[in-house]
Structure 1
Amino acid sequence: MIALPLTEDAVTDYGPGWKRNEAKKLLDFHARALNAKGGFYKLAADGSPLADDPRGQGNTRELHETTRMIHSYAQGAQLNHPAAHQIVDHGMKFLFDGHLDPVNGGFWWSVDDAGPIDTKKQAYGHAFVLLAAASAGSVGHPDAARLRETVMTVLRSRFWENDPGAVSDTFDEDWTNPPAYRGGNANMHLTEALIAAHRTWSDPADLDMARAIARFMIDQHARAEGWVVPEHFTPDWKVDRDFEGDPMFRPPGTTPGHAIEWARLVLELRETGGMDPQDDWMVEAASALFSRAMRDAWLPEGGFAYTLDWNGNIDNRRRLWWPVAEAVATSHALHRATGDDVWLGNIDELWTHLDAHHIDHEHGGWYAEIDASGRPVETLFPGKPDIYHAMTALSAGLE
């Protein structure tokens, strides 16, 4: 573990009371996203709905946004937020009525008031459907088990590949045109969802799948790369170092924020699995993943570089909210797993950075990106697109 250079003076007590209050404000802000026609609006910086109707048929709703709202407001229900159950129910209804393909099965990536826009079937999106089902189930939603069965049928029959024990990526609407690409991001989020599913329904098969993914992605590949997480793979599951990617979900090179996220997930997998001896490698892996990402990617001005090249050099200095939020949650996970207070040594610096640059104290919500001067900018994401990573950070340490 390394000590982060202070970029601001830490003067606030970022304890449980502060986090609960910030979570309430965040949930209040994003509750405005509820769309009476189904699903949720994207929100502008001031909390108003963003204009987004490319076909003139109402706002586009993307699968990961619908599902993350369900997950986040299930967390909100645990914090007794008054709108939580209504929003969970609203999102669940739209998954079945808006995103679910009744002919071919699986869930469309994006839809508007007239129906599907992007009909691709993505493993990434389906992982979040499972997370939504598990989270809704944890707060007693009556359709959670049905959603779980619907999405798990597709995950096992369409996406899962026994060798190596991971999911492929994207198919056409009718499950033709098998994907040439294999990616780490979908597998990371499926691991998260499988852990949540096991916590809700206690099916050991969920842990078996999660362990298979973690062993392949982290114990095999990240370990071999000196605890750098490969993101992109060829069809035969060889690391693709030359993948050019796209800036949002598949950036080229390596993404240190994902190493931080993986560190948290393998610890949660170990904990959920009852500290099984077969998972003993996970504490070593989490410690090494987190430490290397902090060392390689934390910038002198604060925040993490978005991507690195394969030599560990900074490739893209874009500063986003989510790696810092994940670093908060992973710090708590490492402390819980090891009992060593050293892992909490940077908590105040991480929160101070988020508080100073990403939390909007005037309008509410979190800014997604800041420029070199620390001011909010919108280059990759419009408005305030996320509650999911912010709630992950704010929920950490409240266990």
Structure 2
Amino acid sequence: MIDADAECRRLAGFARPSAASPAGFWWLDESGHPDPAEPVHTWITARMTHVFALAHLRGDLPGSEAAELAAHGIRAMSGALRDDELGGWYASVSTDGEPIDTLKEAYAHAFVILAASSGVAAGVPGADALLDEALGVMQQHFLDDSGRVVDSLERDLGSGEAYRGANSSMHTVEAFLAAGDVTGDGAWHQRALAIAEHLIHDVARSHGYDLPEHFDLSWSPLLDYNADRPGDPFRPYGCTPGHLLEWSRLLLHLDASLPQPPSWLVEDARALFARAVEVGWSADGETGFVYTTSWDGKPVTRLRLHWVAAEALAAAGALHTRTGETTYDDWRQRFEAYIETHLVDREHGNWHHELDEHNRPSHVVWHGKPDVYHAYQALLLARLPLAPVLSVQLRQPQEPPREVGS
């Protein structure tokens, strides 16, 4: 089985070259070199900042290297990636800091909150101010009157596309859990609960836990969305088993974070995991999770993406921690064995981000190895308590929560 501590150190080491641009963290290729064909993405910069903040708290890199890398990310999100004229964060900039994609995405903003939260826990300079600003932007512009997530906006934070999505909502739940734990403000946990209650306890449950990913502005499911692009990296057609697994563990984090959690959190976490395994695991006769399935539970995109296996590992570990049932630990060990056998790249580093239907390296949906976020944190999530969030657990000594705006 995987030595989690050694693997976290190896993943952090692989990611170090991504800090090659002052504008943020670069997309990495198969060998861990910056990919000059890609701009600097806010979501990658934020995810890598989160990882390096955790790596600093764990001591995964020599000396102060991880702290310096986390500080690099906080500076980038406070600088080139931030729209200091109109507010919010660009989707991407050039390596010298010129805006390329000025769309303002809830997905990227959620990761800015996650990164800033981890930065605060790790004591990274500037993280407090970044977190306060990011939470303000998210609450003012990316939550509608019912507390649901607005997927994207134009640069002026005005009108956006006629689309709502479960993916950005899921990562907003993750971000709000982190913000609530780091600031001590339970209102962020309640906002996360409201998003999860709508999408999981209402929408997913009414669809047999095959969660629709795409919606119109009134949150009516668009079941045929991207049917002609079933392997889209962010908005694929059909059900995404990996997201069922990711939601499963997030519900358990919510359950552990709330003073009076509703019973459906654990019930739905179990059901999501069961459905993901039923329709996704070895669904085509080959080991591993397929990327997407149709609404009758059949494989659509048979590629195996590394983040799905990572979330399966984390979800199984979380369910075992919450329930104590050995069947979930059996699944955790099965997923970990799959990762060790097929995904861990001992030659070039990191994990293969994509495999084909026969578990051979592939590059249809993803090219290169953009970041280490899913792999790194899954190894910890599968083994540590469900609450508080990783950065707060790893912070030593334990400090009292800070007040927002302090």
| Structure 2 residue matching 1:217: 3-state secondary structure | helix
Please list, as runs of the form range in 1=range in 2, the aligned pairs for 1:336-347 lying within 5 A after superposition: 336-347=321-332
Residue 331 (structure 1) aligned with residue 316 (structure 2) = yes
Of residues 265, 268, 286 in structure 2, which corresponds to 1:285? Answer: 268
Q: Which residue of 2 aligns with 1:265?
A: 250
Of residues 159, 162, 180 in structure 1, which corresponds to 2:142? Answer: 159
In 2: Cα distance, 1:178 partner to 1:249 partner: 17
| Structure 2 residue matching 1:34: 3-state secondary structure | helix
Q: Which residue of 1 aligns with 2:86?
A: 104
| Structure 2 residue matching 1:177: 3-state secondary structure | coil
Q: Which moved more, 1:377-386 or 1:280-289?
A: 377-386
Residue 75 (structure 1) aligned with residue 54 (structure 2) = yes
Q: Is the 8 A contact 2:248 2:269 kept in 1?
A: yes
| Structure 2 residue matching 1:200: 3-state secondary structure | helix
Q: Which residue of 2 aligns with 1:216?
A: 198
Q: Is the 8 A contact 1:260 1:293 kept in 2?
A: yes
In 1: Cα distance, 2:328 partner to 2:113 partner: 30
| Structure 1 residue matching 2:100: 3-state secondary structure | strand
Question: Deviation string for 1:148-194 (max 9, x for gaps)?
Answer: 1111111111111132x311111111123333100000000000010
Q: Which residue of 1 aligns with 2:220?
A: 238
CA RMSD of aligned residues (A): 1.4
Question: Deviation string for 1:235-288 (max 9, x for gaps)?
Answer: 1111111211750111111111001000000100110113x1x42211100000
In 2: Cα distance, 1:111 partner to 1:51 partner: 13
In 2: Cα distance, 1:236 partner to 1:157 partner: 19
What TM-score does the superposition give when structure 2 sets the normalisation length? 0.89
Counterpart AA for 1:397: R
Q: Is the 8 A contact 1:43 1:384 kept in 2?
A: yes
In 1: Cα distance, 2:244 partner to 2:316 partner: 13
Identity of aligned residues (%): 37
In 1: Cα distance, 2:262 partner to 2:128 partner: 28
In 2: Cα distance, 1:37 partner to 1:260 partner: 35
In 2: Cα distance, 1:47 partner to 1:152 partner: 32
User: Using a 3 Å threshold, how does the CA distance of structure 1 residues 317 and 217 change in structure 2: closer, same or farther?
Assistant: same
Question: Deviation string for 1:308-361 (max 9, x for gaps)?
Answer: 111111111111111111011011111111122221112222112111221111
Of residues 90, 98, 101 in structure 2, which corresponds to 1:118? Answer: 101
Q: CA deviation at 1:114?
A: 4.5
Of residues 335, 338, 343 in structure 2, which corresponds to 1:350? Answer: 335
Q: Which residue of 2 aligns with 1:4?
A: none
In 2: Cα distance, 1:114 partner to 1:63 partner: 11
Which 4+ runs in 1 deviate beyond 4 A? Answer: none
| Structure 1 residue matching 2:20: 3-state secondary structure | coil
Please list, as runs of the form range in 1=range in 2, the aligned pairs for 1:177-188 lying within 5 A after superposition: 177-188=159-170
Residue 296 (structure 1) aligned with residue 296 (structure 2) = no
Q: CA deviation at 1:371?
A: 1.7
Q: CA deviation at 1:36?
A: 4.4
Of residues 76, 87, 111 in structure 1, which corresponds to 2:69? Answer: 87
Residue 384 (structure 1) aligned with residue 369 (structure 2) = yes
Q: Is the 8 A contact 1:26 1:365 kept in 2?
A: yes
Count of aligned residue pairs for this structure pair: 375
Unaligned runs of 5+ in 2: 386-406
In 1: Cα distance, 2:320 partner to 2:224 partner: 36
Q: Which residue of 1 aligns with 2:393?
A: none
What TM-score does the superposition give when structure 1 sets the normalisation length? 0.91
Q: Which residue of 1 aligns with 2:293?
A: 308
| Structure 2 residue matching 1:188: 3-state secondary structure | helix
Counterpart AA for 2:336: W
Unaligned runs of 5+ in 1: 1-12, 53-58
Q: Is the 8 A contact 1:303 1:320 kept in 2?
A: no
| Structure 2 residue matching 1:117: 3-state secondary structure | strand
